[in-house]
Amino acid sequence: MSRIIHFTTVHPRNDTRIHLKEVRTLAKRWPGEVALFVQDGKGPESYEDQGYEIYDTGPPEKGRLRRMVFGARRMYHAVRRAKPTIVHFHDPELLPWAFLLRLSGVKVIYDVHENAPATVLSKTYLNPFIRRPMALILHALEKGAKAAFSAIVAATIDIRDNFGSSTTLVQNFPMLGELRRPNSSRHCERPKDFAYVGGVTAIRSAHEIVDALDVLGNPEVRLQMAGAFAPKTLEMAVTSQEGWRYVTFHGWAGRDVVSDIMGNVRAGLVLFHPLPNHITAQPNKLFEYMSAGLPVIASDFPLWREIVQKAGSGLLVDPEDPKAIAGAMQWILDNTEEAEAMGQRGCEAVECHYNWDAEAAKLVALYEDLLKEKKGQ
């Protein structure tokens, strides 16, 4: 029986932070006692050799409101029936159900991936008149979570500071060696390609990146794009842009494909718009590009500037300016030795500072403390 359950109704079962980092880390420490509950309709999956199982609580509900009510309720009942000692959840919409689990005597950990109230304020698909009330409700629920739950885990320093000093900071840094190919060719020998890996959204500069390719207008330069469009209606708009003819679109890609892409390009792009939830974010892809030995072309935010300039690992641009993005791409192509050196410095920074090993140790220590408390009750 699983003493430890991670659960989500929003994230995919192969989510890098939840599955590949947190669940696998805990399963190494407590083999056979860890499970991940998801809701995707793909059925159960056994990782017995690695000490954990994945349970599917059924197909996802159609529409956000149905997912938040019916899907979340279904997840709550499935988790409660399993009678875990500790539950660890990842979606703000599950907050009310997590309170119920806490009332039933289960230790509850809330894993805060982003500043949820700020994110709601930037959701363009929401009616402007309901964004602020929804953000205020989320803020109140999270304030209650801090008091009621057994622990809060924060993915960034900014989120940790918002919740207070008792919050456990577990940053979403890469796993050492996962994405760097040992026999990768030198940058000057690679195709004149760039990588964009992650969710393809308007607020992550999908339009501007494709426009930048058109500004370059070089048929030898291609963007290797891996990810899913959100919302799907964005796909038609982006693929109709002139610069799309320079894009090789891979759709959603597994880690092996991502590793192959990163081993055959000159630089990685991570260009979030300057929204409240973005300027203090620590994007996983920023550090993954660095871990793969790639220079980065990133948004010029104060926090990102501190990371990139301190490491000497890339270029910073206005993410809403296609000409600035194109200029940075051209610089990478024109200065191959310095670009490669940037990538090497970024890789060294990840090996020394921005890697999962230290974060994993903090996560395990938190669980050890909670399990000791439970045993002592």
52-79 pLDDT, tens digit per residue, is 999 999 999 998 889 999 999 999 999 9
Helix (H, G, I), strand (E, B) or coil at 248: strand
> Does one domain contain both 231 and 365?
no
Judge if the upstream peptide bond of residue 12 is cis by omega within 30 degrees of 0.
Answer: no
- Decide: helix, strand or coil at residue 351: helix
DSSP string, 201-228: -GGGTHHHHHHHHHHH--TT-EEEEES-
Q: 124 — phi, psi (to 5°)?
A: -70, -20
CATH of the domain at 297: 3.40.50.2000
Instruction: Answer yes or no: do 70 and 203 share one domain.
Output: no
User: Do 168 and 38 lie in a common domain?
Assistant: yes
pLDDT single digits (tens) 104-122 = 999 999 999 998 877 777 7
pLDDT of amino acid 377: 59
| Alpha-carbon span 316 to 318, nearest angstrom | 7
CB 221 within 8 Å of CB 194 = yes
Pair (343, 220) in one structural domain: yes
Print the domain residue range for 324: 187-352
d(CA 142, CA 111) in angstroms, rounded, equals 11
Contact 76, 55 (CB under 8 A): no
How is residue 229 annotated by DSSP? B
Tokens of 70: 């019916």
State the pLDDT at residue 82: 96
How many domains is the chain partitioned into structurally? 2
H or E element, residue 48:
none
The SS3 assignment for 125 reads coil
Q: Which residues of the chain have pLDDT under 50?
A: none
What pTM does this model have?
0.90
Q: Look at residue 136 in the predicted model and tell me its pLDDT.
A: 86
Q: How far apart are CA 135 and CA 141, in angstroms?
A: 10
Q: Do 132 and 146 share a structural domain?
A: yes
Same domain, 99 and 212: no
How many degrees, rounded to 5, is the angle at CA 70 between CA 69 and CA 75? 100
pLDDT at 124: 65
Q: What is the pLDDT of residue 1?
A: 57
Burial class for 45, CB neighbours closer than 10 Å (0-12, 13-18, 19+): middle
Are residues 37 and 153 located together in one domain of the fold?
A: yes
Q: Do 196 and 94 fall into the same domain?
A: no
- In this structure, the answer to whether residues 147 and 229 fall within a common structural domain is no
Say if 182 falls within a structural domain: no
Q: Please state, in angstroms and rounded to a whole number, the distance separating the CA atoms of residues 151 and 225.
A: 37
* 247 and 363 fall within a common domain: no
Whether the Cβ atoms of residue 64 and residue 50 lie closer than 8 Å to each other: no
